């Protein structure tokens, strides 16, 4: 089984940070005051992947993929660490 490349996910996260607006939140928690967004990355066992931001319900690029990783992305997030987390989450699901 193939996994998404960390450097590709990292590049995505760096790019998405530019889109975080002051009123965006990564969660529905009323105490969440930090601008951020939820990012879902979906992948298949061939290393193909797609993503969606915000609500990860029944639509979006990741929805058709069998393995999902969900993270919270903030302007000051370490994109490399989050990319590793995404790949690790997907790896855990693929090997189950």
The tens digit of pLDDT for each residue in 41-54 reads: 999 999 999 999 98
In this prediction the pTM is 0.92
The answer to whether residue 1 sits within a structural domain is: no
The answer to whether residue 23 sits within a structural domain is: yes
pLDDT digits (tens, 9 = 90+) for 2-32: 999 999 999 999 999 999 999 999 988 889 8
Report how many domains make up the chain: 1
Q: What's the DSSP call for residue 16? A: H
What 3-state DSSP class applies to 70?
strand
The answer to whether residue 68 sits within a structural domain is: yes
Residue 91: pLDDT band by 50, 70, 90 thresholds?
A: very high
pLDDT digits (tens, 9 = 90+) for 52-80: 998 766 778 898 899 999 999 999 999 99
Sheet order of strands, 36-43 included: 49-53, 36-43, 67-74
Parent domain of 73: 6-94
The answer to whether residue 13 sits within a structural domain is: yes
How far apart are alpha carbons 67 and 92 in whole angstroms?
9
CB contact at 8 A, 4 and 25:
no
Distance of alpha carbon 27 from its chain centroid, rounded?
13
């Amino acid at each position: 089984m193939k996994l998404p490349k960390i450097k590709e996910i990292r590049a995505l996260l760096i790019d998405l940070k530019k889109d975080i607006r002051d009123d965006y939140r990564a969660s529905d928690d009323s105490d969440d005051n930090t601008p951020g967004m939820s990012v879902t990355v979906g992948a298949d066992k061939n290393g193909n992947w797609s993503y969606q931001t915000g609500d990860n319900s029944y639509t979006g690029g990741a929805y058709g993929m069998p393995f999902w990783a969900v993270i919270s992305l903030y302007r000051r997030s370490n994109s490399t660490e989050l990319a590793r987390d995404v790949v690790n989450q997907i790896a855990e699901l693929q090997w189950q």
